[in-house]
Chains A and B, each alone.
Chain A
Amino acid sequence: EPEVTQTPSHQVTQMGQEVILRCVPISNHLYFYWYRQILGQKVEFLVSFYNNEISEKSEIFDDQFSVERPDGSNFTLKIRSTKLEDSAMYFCASCAGVEETQYFGPGTRLLVL
């Protein structure tokens, strides 16, 4: 069964460093998302992406964040200058259509020291 994959599974970085989180959505999916979950809290929406453009972004998704689909398979989230409060689990999700179910990847656990 097709699934969303994410790399790395864990990332430790120093405050102020840039990180890139990678996702490979399900191959025939067209809509892509990033969510994050700070430990012990609920899952929060960051950004949605379709047709090589951001569809919607949350207040969390400020100028430090960017997304890209550099080729036909990968979908990346870049944090330019990480802060301590960026420590969280980051989930990528994808779906086939506008009102279809979103399927999640296993997440990347980011720790900023």
Chain B
Amino acid sequence: AQTVTQSQPEMSVQEAETVTLSCTYDTSENNYYLFWYKQPPSRQMILVIRQEAYKQQNATENRFSVNFQKAAKSFSLKISDSQLGDTAMYFCAFMRSNTGTASKLTFGTGTRLQVTL
């Protein structure tokens, strides 16, 4: 079974600064996908970024980028130029590949990010 660990329950960053959220996972699979989802106070789950394990290049999406270290099973999210609207709960998630059917997401416990003025 896969597990996802987010060791930072809460973090705070000032507006316009950069913050990095940590995520580690445990799996025996070689091919898989990793995601960061954002959950603002409305509790909607919003996709932030996706990474395919077979790709060495780290995914980026505007101000959001990841540092994917496959050997270390680490998948951190960097938010640059933080904005007040980035205040949310951030969940790291794992999805197996090559299952031939609908694959579930396994989530971490989340990191609550507060962006301050």
Q: Does B101 contact A (CB under 8 A)?
A: yes
Q: How many A residues touch B, CB cutoff 8 Å?
A: 29
Cβ-defined partner of B107 (8 Å) among A44, A50, A56, A98: A44
Q: Are A101 and B110 in contact (CB under 8 A)?
A: no
Q: Does B83 contact A (CB under 8 A)?
A: no
Contacts A43-B45, A91-B45, A101-B50 hold; do A50 and B101 have CB atoms under 8 A apart?
yes
- Majority secondary structure, A binding face: strand
Interchain CA distance A106-B44 in the complex, whole Å: 5
Cβ-defined partner of A98 (8 Å) among B50, B91, B102: B102
Shortest distance in angstroms between A95's beta carbon and chain B's nearest beta carbon? 8
Interface of A toward B, CB cutoff 8 Å: 31-33, 35, 37, 41-45, 48-50, 55-56, 58, 89, 91, 93, 95, 98-99, 101-104, 106-107, 109
Of all A-B residue pairs in the complex, the 10 with the closest CB atoms, nearest first, are A104-B45, A48-B102, A31-B102, A45-B104, A55-B102, A43-B107, A55-B101, A42-B109, A42-B107, A106-B44
